[in-house]
Amino acid sequence: MVVEMEHMAMAIGVSVPVLRFLLCFVATLPVSLLCRVVPGGAPPKHLFAAASGAFLSYLSFGVSSNLHFLIPMLLGYASMALYRRRCGIITFFLGFAYLIGCHVYYMSGDAWKEGGIDATGALMVLVLKIWARSEKVRSPSPYGATIRALVQAAFCMGLHLYLVPQYPLSQFTETVYHEWGFWRRLGYQYMSGLTARWKYYFVWSISEAAVIISGLGFSGWTDSSPPKPRWDRAKNVDILGVEFAKTAAQIPLAWNIQVSTWLRNYVYERLIQKGMKPGFFQLLATQTVSAVWHGLYPGYIIFFVQSALMIAGSRVIYRWQQAIPPNMDLMKKVLVFLNFACTVLVLNYSCVGFMVLSLHETLVAYGSVYYIGTIVPIVFILLGHVIKPARPSRSKARKEQ
């Protein structure tokens, strides 16, 4: 076997140790594939990864490599267990101190020139991974953020319980509702949508508190001075971001954030053809997937089709807004307000379908305000094909963003 490896090494112009390393390196591909099919959940997968990694390291660098790997691992996890608050900086200094010691002892550069190889290259990566892990563990106290989320949840539920009796959904099919004037009916639709949203705000606030208290919600620190902890991994809704969205395109960034992110990554962006810009088709297809995911009620389908129209119409106004020169600031403010007003109008009109679900009740509610929330975005979409302002330069657009 050794003779065969020598011949193979000579044939490709490398040393036997380097050839052995290359073979083990290539072997990580099938080993990684096997890791995907290991049954039993995370613990068996972790055990398989540790065993296969130790075996490949042994074949590549010898038994001493695994001993070298164990030391920074033990130091890092010990610091996480014993002094969590400073485990990041402790792991950094201890890990790099050991790595520097190995560099000095092995002087790997000289060995590589002679065709040798050792474990310091793998150790370099391992030290960074352990350090990164310890920095993630070194999260701030979750209790303050948890309490804030719980207070928010209590407020949302209290407001929802207060508003629900005053704005029942059954009113849309009542005779008295249709006797009201147009503006009162439109205002009732707004209040019905607002009332329903507080229920979801409550649910997501509770789930946010649960994720934060579990220790899984921390996502880093702000750039402010002093820095403050961010809990973005737990966040699924930005209440003010929804209620005061300047454009409809901002709503998916603030409402059901985790699902919206999934839809963007796995549906919307994958429908964009190479070299092409996304258009209404990608938007409509994404919203249709979201509708089917929610359920097969007609109200869901209608709402998400409406939301596609809402976003597309809002984008037209935004393009006009971006094309306004700096010396016409008042006109720009008018378009900003117009976009905000249209977003509020179409959102609360559309969400009636999401709430009542049935086709009949949805059409009755929409018809009571003359389908204004459907007509308005369609008008802007059509106008967008007629009034096509010059696009601002990329540097200017980035500056305004």
Q: Which residues are part of the catalytic machinery?
A: 294
- Say how many CA atoms lie within 13 Å of 8 toward its Cβ: 12
- If we measure between CA atoms, which residue out of 114, 120, 115, 118 comes closest to residue 101? 120
- If we measure between CA atoms, which residue out of 245, 265, 270 comes closest to residue 255? 245
* Interatomic CA distance for residues 31 and 100, integer angstroms: 30
Q: Which residue reads 């106004």 in tokens? A: 317
Q: Are 150 and 209 in contact (CB under 8 A)?
A: yes
3-class DSSP state of 336: helix
Angle at 73 between CA 69 and CA 74, to 5 degrees: 115
Burial class (CB in 10 A: 0-12, 13-18, 19+), 19: buried
* Interatomic CA distance for residues 166 and 169, integer angstroms: 10
Q: Which residue reads 């290539």 in tokens? A: 26
Question: Can you spell out the DSSP letters for 201-217?
Answer: HHHHHHHHHHHHHHT--
* Interatomic CA distance for residues 132 and 134, integer angstroms: 5
* Interatomic CA distance for residues 28 and 30, integer angstroms: 6
* Interatomic CA distance for residues 122 and 21, integer angstroms: 11
Angle formed by the axes of helices 63-82 and 42-61, nearest 10°: 140
3-class DSSP state of 381: helix
- If we measure between CA atoms, which residue out of 318, 311, 247, 254 comes closest to residue 279? 311
Q: Are 231 and 217 in contact (CB under 8 A)?
A: yes
Contacts of 191 (CB under 8 A, 6+ apart): 163, 166, 167
* Interatomic CA distance for residues 102 and 185, integer angstroms: 76
